[in-house]
Structure 1
Amino acid sequence: MADSENSVVLRPGAFTLSWSADLQYGSRDLTFDGERTFYFAKGDTVNEDSQKGVGVFALNLQNSDLQELNVVAQNLCDKDIQSGGPETVDPPSTFSVMCMGEDGKAVRRSGSIRLIPERFKSRIFDAPLRLAERAWTEGSKIIKLDFETVAVEHKDGHYIVAVKFINSGNRWIQFKTPDQWGGSTTSGRLGVGATGAIHPNGDVVKVKGSWAFGLSGKGLINRSEFKGGLVFLKPGGSEVLKFEVDPDYKALKGSYEFSGIVFMRIEYEGYGWGLASNVDFKPIKTRITIDRDYPSTPQEREQWEKTHRENMSQWPVKPGATFAEDGLYRAVRTSGTARGLLLRPFKAGDVATTDDVRMYTEVASGTEFNGPVQWVWEGSAPTPVKQWSFDIIEGTEHVCKAGAICPRSGRWLARVHSGGFSAAAPYRYDLAGIVTLCRGQSMPARTDGADWEWLGA
């Protein structure tokens, strides 16, 4: 339906097919005004490959189009149009149509799309869906909202991610700044990241677990530019929002194709087209070059490990399962809550033992458990600076000499080599000698020849 600047008279033959929004996904409306204009409103393109952004489009119709749409209206007015089923409740999908009554006057009828019998569906949906595609590509833009990543830069220990929201329609759009969003599909979510690596020959190769930034609820460093916490986009206008944020995953420097996702609520000028306030869509893809790896410093590694540890806690490696990635892992009893004190290194592809594991408990009281365990990721395992090198990347050390500079924050346990050659117990641990240190402090000196083993953050 057109808004107040267009005629709102309900003419015979006018109809609307409407798929309502739910708590996560936006709406879709196809409307014929009964004369010569077809409107397409779409607020849900997050799962689309060919369509980016959301909006409302108007298409001027040809005579052949009018004939097809008149047939659609006649079928919607059929007395048996609601004899199908079954009906479902959430979200509703409805139609409304202006039919000619027996007295020769126009009468509005409405119903459920899900109750339309199968024999009517091709006659009702084929033409409107085809015209919707044309409206998206050829029609005038009444409302059109997009976004894109424009820059990723490193500054003062953080990353500055710049995202541009674009209004290419002829009505204003506004929304709350993303630092006020909750981070979910219902409370508002914004994220951008690399979907492909750009090779020197120009080819784009898909990547997973590379550069990614969750931006909703994060610091907006140019917040003062948006009065009242609202981003206002005038027709044909755009605004760049700059976020201070840390990456979600490890990533290598290089050139990447960036995409993303947004679930948000908007307000816009006008009404009556069926575009709901909650919308979801992907951005216009852009090419971004980043000149440093992440993490590149011990401080960045600690930040990444904190985030990764929280994420990996949901995916313990069960007995007999395969480790998905390298790391230092903590044993956790499969029954009960007992956790192991010491960390063990595993490599991707290793298989977790199905045998019982005997280990000091994390409380370091001298008690032990002996039984089946699963393993949770705790931190990076010692990582060579390059293949075959004996030098370890700073911040990945598992042991440290007494009196040296602490290489990573957390708890450390003094250990003394047993002097024997038994692989089962090569070290004797001083359970009273656990210390908590920050990276950069000095490791305590020892007079018994002990060194220090990291127990986790």
Structure 2
Amino acid sequence: MHFAYTTNGAADGSINRYGNNEISVSGDVLTVQIGDSDNNRNISGVGIFQLKLSNKNLEDARQLAKLLCSQKDPHSDVTLPTLYGAKCDGEMRSSYINDFSRPVVNQIVQLVDSLTNAGVQNGRKLVKLDLSVVSIDREKDGFLVSARFSNSGEHPIKFKTPDRWNTRMGRDMDILGVNGYRVGSAGNDDDQLGLALAGKLLVDPEQFPDGEVNLAPHSSVVVKMKTDSISKFSAGAYDLNIGAFMNIKVIGFQSSLLQVDFHSDYKNPTRITFDRDYPSTPQEREQWEAMHKAEMSWQPVKPGQTFAEDGLYRAVRTGNGHRGLLLKPFKAGEVAPTGRVTMPMQELPDVNIDGPVQWVWEAIAPTPVKPWSFDMIADTVQFCEPGAECPRSGRWVRRIQSDDLYGRAPTRYDIASLVTRRRGERMPEGDEGTGRTDWEWVGA
């Protein structure tokens, strides 16, 4: 009995996708390779397992071999590009699973799942790499995440330390990230926590010479990463997992486990309790705002579209890309204006943008200190009185409010007054000759 089945071939039918998932049988020995456990909650880590078949597993393998050698169906409606190879009547057959009818394919898939499970659960671990969260600690300018890489296989595994990973978009990109949900939650976005671990590696330089981790068989190592790439989350206890999309090298064993995609054990998450929300301090809000602004820069809300989240948004002129100076608050669910927008231009404040615009998320909108409160968290406010302590770092412009009792005269802006202030510095005094004035925040 001899066959091989690649369970996650790429859309173009190629065999090498993120290290491959495949099973093969030679005689009565089953080999299972897991190079991608990303979409499988029942399997964690990556590796290669070997199992001597007997009883039901042996019968499943024989049935699978028979199905792979069954008659092809020229009218098959199966679209899976999965590859297989099998020895049929002494000759090797190599083709795609869509050779067979749907009922045959369904049987094949069930048998492959059963044999994969048997190999992973009961097989000898020739190669096995796992990952888990150890701890997450709040730091002054982000979070310190400790993650454990464990090698429970029989061969050394080598890879670059995460601070040297290639994080640029593309096939060779490496990713390390934490995610999870608050204990007892319904799994809503507000109860989710996510951290992207692309930052500074905190470790004794002698621990990883040449920026490489060399994991001996049956050993583990803890790496500590400082990160400021964090999603908003509420205080509470969270069950957290960690995932990696990375390049590895197995020493002394030939395999296609080169670029792998895997996660920690979903059945045994790491529970961590956070005593306060994030962000919840002025420094954290500034940090989160800068990160989220970069993330949202490529997701403009076009005229007539619905805003997905609250925030202060900047107008960007459709057609020429000129940006407005002033920020406008919108709430999730509101519809973006479809008419013309006129306001000073960010690049040339003496010139107006005038026409249809799309809106780009810029910053946190004024936020009540408590639900339904009229008092706002100081470092989220949009307006400030002259001479007061600056509540929010960034650029401010003086606005001159109308003395019209009926409020029909528009608010004017003294473009020449643009100033930059850090939080805690004193704002400029008012100009008595211009009437009622205050200051409006126009971005960091």
TM-score, with structure 1 as normaliser:
0.83
Q: 1:358 to 1:174 in 2, by over 3 A?
A: same
Corresponding position of 2:136: 152
Corresponding position of 2:437: 450
Q: Does 1:186 align with 2:172?
A: yes
Q: Does 1:197 align with 2:182?
A: yes
Contact 1:331 / 1:343 at 8 angstroms: preserved in 2? yes
Corresponding position of 1:93: 83
TM-score, with structure 2 as normaliser:
0.86
Counterpart residue identity of residue 138, structure 2: H
Q: Percent identity?
A: 40
Counterpart residue identity of residue 25, structure 2: F
Between 115-124 and 316-325, report the one with greater CA deviation.
115-124
Structure showing greater Rg: 1
Q: Does 1:14 align with 2:19?
A: no
- Residues 6-405 of structure 1 mapped to structure 2, 5 A cutoff: 13-18=1-6, 25-34=18-27, 36-62=28-54, 65-66=57-58, 69-70=61-62, 72-73=64-65, 93-95=83-85, 97=87, 100=90, 109-114=92-97, 116-118=99-101, 121=105, 127-183=111-167, 184=169, 186-194=172-180, 196-198=181-183, 203-208=184-189, 210-216=192-198, 218-222=199-203, 224=205, 225-272=207-254, 274-284=255-265, 285-405=269-389
Contact 2:131 / 2:242 at 8 angstroms: preserved in 1? no
Q: 1:150 to 1:68 in 2, by over 3 A?
A: closer
Alpha-carbon separation, structure 2, partners of 1:389 and 1:71: 68
Counterpart residue identity of residue 282, structure 1: H
Partner-residue secondary structure (3-state), 2:116 = helix
Counterpart residue identity of residue 452, structure 1: W
Offset of residue 32 of structure 1 = 1.4
Q: Give CA deviations for 1:113-146 in whole Å, capped at 9, x if unaligned.
A: 3474438657766544422221122222222222
- Runs (5+) with no aligned partner, structure 1: 1-12, 101-107
Contact 2:293 / 2:363 at 8 angstroms: preserved in 1? yes
Aligned length: 428
Alpha-carbon separation, structure 1, partners of 2:369 and 2:220: 44
- Residues 429-448 of structure 1 mapped to structure 2, 5 A cutoff: 429-448=413-432
Q: 1:229 to 1:171 in 2, by over 3 A?
A: same
Q: Give CA deviations for 1:7-53 in whole Å, capped at 9, x if unaligned.
A: xxxxxx3332235677763302212121x321111111111122111
Counterpart residue identity of residue 92, structure 2: R
Structure 1 residue aligned with 2:396, among 387, 412, 431?
412
Offset of residue 341 of structure 1 = 1.9
- Runs (5+) with no aligned partner, structure 2: none
Partner-residue secondary structure (3-state), 1:348 = coil
Q: Give CA deviations for 1:130-188 in whole Å, capped at 9, x if unaligned.
A: 22221122222222222111211012332101111122223322211111112246321
Alpha-carbon separation, structure 2, partners of 1:99 and 1:299: 71
Q: 1:77 to 1:144 in 2, by over 3 A?
A: same
Contact 2:125 / 2:154 at 8 angstroms: preserved in 1? yes
